[in-house]
């Protein structure tokens, strides 16, 4: 046993849970996001988080101009989790915060209209000085902050009053599993005993531009903006919370699943229905009773996928049952590990 998860929270579209509670699998709805033309010859469906500006944990007005929606969701969720679980000094001063972010550029930055204007000005300017002046006038001074890769991590630290060790992982769906692996490492070397691990993802054209050409087929491409977090502590077999999980073991590759028996397989990372099916087929070495992927309900969840899968595992595994959690990135690289319900 490597570590124990003692709290989970997630937010996708209207699915929000600060205590990790998830409805039964049978009540999850299929993804009804509309497939739309994104680029010539490319369609994709995106789901967005339903943010509520009146929420008491909604960020300050002065911060909103440099906050991406995925970061706002991560902020609201993490503050709610802190309020519920009462994470105190041990976490805030001596803990760690490891955040994965699978898209740092939001729609306002990748605003095609303003880029079109900027590029047009580059093409029509008579001299370099005019070009730079015109180009500069189209760029918001907030752009470097809106695209700050550690924006989510830094805002979470600011709003939670977190002073400990922290970093940002990016930019694919397995980044959050890498954060989890590093969190286990920090526990092993006794660098931190309470580690908040999580991820957020902005589903939009920029993400699509990074991913679509890596796929053989983009039919049914779907992504969802989301945020999810979980608290990791030193392994503790005595912990037996409602949705708590023990992290048992990381595998190096799929072949290591040969001969393994688990109750569930939770898998994710696909961008299309075909990829989702192929990913399940790749797990043929594993013997399991049930398998679950979020794809049919949400589409790809980027760096938030791990927390969402762990939430499912925390809710649907019974005490003592085990599962393999597996996530694939856009390049086909896999991260996989085994959990047990506490």
Partner 1 sequence: MSSAKVYVLHTHSVSPLGMGSAELLAALKNQKQAAADITQFDPAGLAQTKACEVAPAYLAGLDLLHEAWQMVAAYDRKFALWATAVQSEQAQLQALFSKTSTQRTALFLGLGANAIPVQHIAKSVSDFTAFGLNQAIAQLNVHVGKKANSIFNHADLYGNYFRQEIAPFGFCRNLMTACSSSTQAIAFGAAHILSGQADLVLAGGTDSILNQFAYISFGKLGVLSPEECKPFDTGRNGTIAGECAGFTLLASEQFVRENGLQPQIALLGYGNSMDAYKITAPDPNGAGVERALRCALQMAQLSPEALDYINAHGTGTRSNDEAELRAIERVVGSAAANIAVSSTKDRHGHAIAAAGIQEFHVLTTCMSNGLVPANLNCNNPIQTPLELPLQTNQNRKIKYALTNNFAFGGVNCALALENLAL
Site for partner 1 in 184-243 (CB under 8 A): 185-186, 188-191, 206, 209-211, 213-214
Compute how many residues bind partner 1; rule: CB under 8 A.
79
Instruction: Please pick, from the candidates 19, 107, 131, 260, the single residue that binds partner 1 as defined by CB under 8 A.
Output: 131
Residues 6+ apart with CB under 8 A from 187: 2, 3, 193, 195, 232, 233, 234, 235
What is the spatial distance between Cα 250 and Cα 2, in angstroms, rounded to a whole number? Answer: 9
Q: Over the range 227-264, which residues count as b (16 or more CB within 10 Å of their CB) and which as e? A: bbbbbbbbbeeeeebebbbbbbeebeebeebeeeebbb
Is residue 35 within the footprint of partner 1 (CB under 8 A)? no
What does the per-residue mask of binding to partner 1 show for 36-75, with x meaning CB under 8 A? --xxxxx--------------------x--x---------
Is residue 166 within the footprint of partner 1 (CB under 8 A)? yes
Identify which of residues 185 and 287 has a Cβ nearer to partner 1 in the complex: 185
- Of the candidates 85, 88, 61, 82, the one whose C-alpha atom is nearest the C-alpha of residue 72 is 61
Identify which of residues 13 and 114 has a Cβ nearer to partner 1 in the complex: 114
Identify which of residues 88 and 161 has a Cβ nearer to partner 1 in the complex: 161
Instruction: Please pick, from the candidates 89, 163, 237, 277, the single residue that binds partner 1 as defined by CB under 8 A.
Output: 163
Instruction: Please pick, from the candidates 53, 141, 259, 320, the single residue that binds partner 1 as defined by CB under 8 A.
Output: 141
**Rounded least distance, CB 88 to partner 1, Å:** 14
Query: Helix-strand-coil percent breakdown of the chain, rounded to 5?
Result: 35, 25, 40
Residues 260-279 that bind partner 1 (CB under 8 A): none
Q: Where are the alpha helices (DSSP H) in the chain?
A: 61-64, 69-85, 89-94, 112-124, 128-138, 143-146, 151-160, 175-188, 205-211, 273-282, 295-298, 305-316
What is the spatial distance between Cα 339 and Cα 160, in angstroms, rounded to a whole number? Answer: 28
Region from 6-14, 139-147, 238-246, 269-277 binding partner 1, contact rule CB under 8 A: 139-147
Q: Where are the alpha helices (DSSP H) in 189-272?
A: 205-211
Instruction: Please pick, from the candidates 175, 265, 323, 334, the single residue that binds partner 1 as defined by CB under 8 A.
Output: 175
Residues 70-129 that bind partner 1 (CB under 8 A): 97, 101, 104-105, 110, 112, 115-116, 118-120, 122-123, 127-129
Instruction: Please pick, from the candidates 164, 299, 307, 314, the single residue that binds partner 1 as defined by CB under 8 A.
Output: 164
Residues 3-32 that bind partner 1 (CB under 8 A): none
The Cα-based distances of 215 to 211, 234, 269, 281 in angstroms read: 7, 39, 12, 17
Instruction: Please pick, from the candidates 89, 130, 240, 287, the single residue that binds partner 1 as defined by CB under 8 A.
Output: 130
């Amino acid at each position: 046993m490597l570590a124990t998860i003692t709290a989970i929270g997630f937010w996708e579209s209207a699915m929000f849970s600060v205590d990790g509670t998830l409805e039964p699998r049978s009540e999850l709805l299929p993804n009804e996001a509309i497939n739309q033309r994104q680029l010539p010859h490319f369609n994709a469906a995106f789901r967005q988080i339903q943010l509520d500006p009146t929420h008491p944990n909604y960020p300050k007005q002065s911060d909103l101009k440099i906050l991406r929606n995925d970061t706002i969701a991560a902020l609201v969720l993490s503050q709610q989790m802190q309020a519920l679980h009462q994470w105190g000094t041990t976490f805030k001063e001596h803990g760690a915060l490891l955040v994965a972010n699978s898209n740092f550029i939001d729609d306002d930055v990748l605003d095609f209209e303003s880029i079109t204007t900027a590029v047009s000005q580059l093409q029509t300017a008579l001299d370099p000085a005019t070009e730079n002046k015109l180009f500069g006038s189209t760029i918001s001074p907030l752009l470097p902050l809106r695209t700050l890769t550690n924006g989510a991590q830094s805002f979470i630290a600011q709003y939670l009053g977190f002073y400990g060790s922290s970093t940002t992982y990016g930019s694919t769906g397995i980044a959050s599993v890498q954060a989890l692996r590093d969190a286990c490492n920090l526990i092993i070397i006794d660098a931190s005993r309470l580690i908040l691990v999580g991820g957020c993802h902005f589903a939009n054209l920029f993400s699509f531009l990074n991913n679509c050409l890596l796929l053989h087929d983009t039919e049914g491409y779907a992504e969802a903006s989301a945020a999810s977090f979980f608290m990791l502590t030193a392994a503790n077999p005595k912990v037996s919370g409602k949705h708590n999980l023990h992290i048992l073991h990381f595998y190096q590759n799929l072949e290591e699943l040969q001969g393994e028996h688990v109750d569930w397989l939770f898998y994710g990372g696909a961008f299309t229905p075909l990829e989702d099916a192929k990913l399940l087929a790749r797990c043929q070495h594993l013997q399991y009773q049930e398998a679950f992927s979020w794809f049919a309900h949400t589409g790809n969840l980027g760096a938030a996928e791990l927390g969402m899968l762990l939430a499912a595992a925390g809710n649907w595994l019974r005490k003592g049952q085990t599962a393999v959690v597996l996530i694939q990135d856009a390049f086909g690289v896999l991260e996989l590990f085994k959990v047990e319900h506490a």
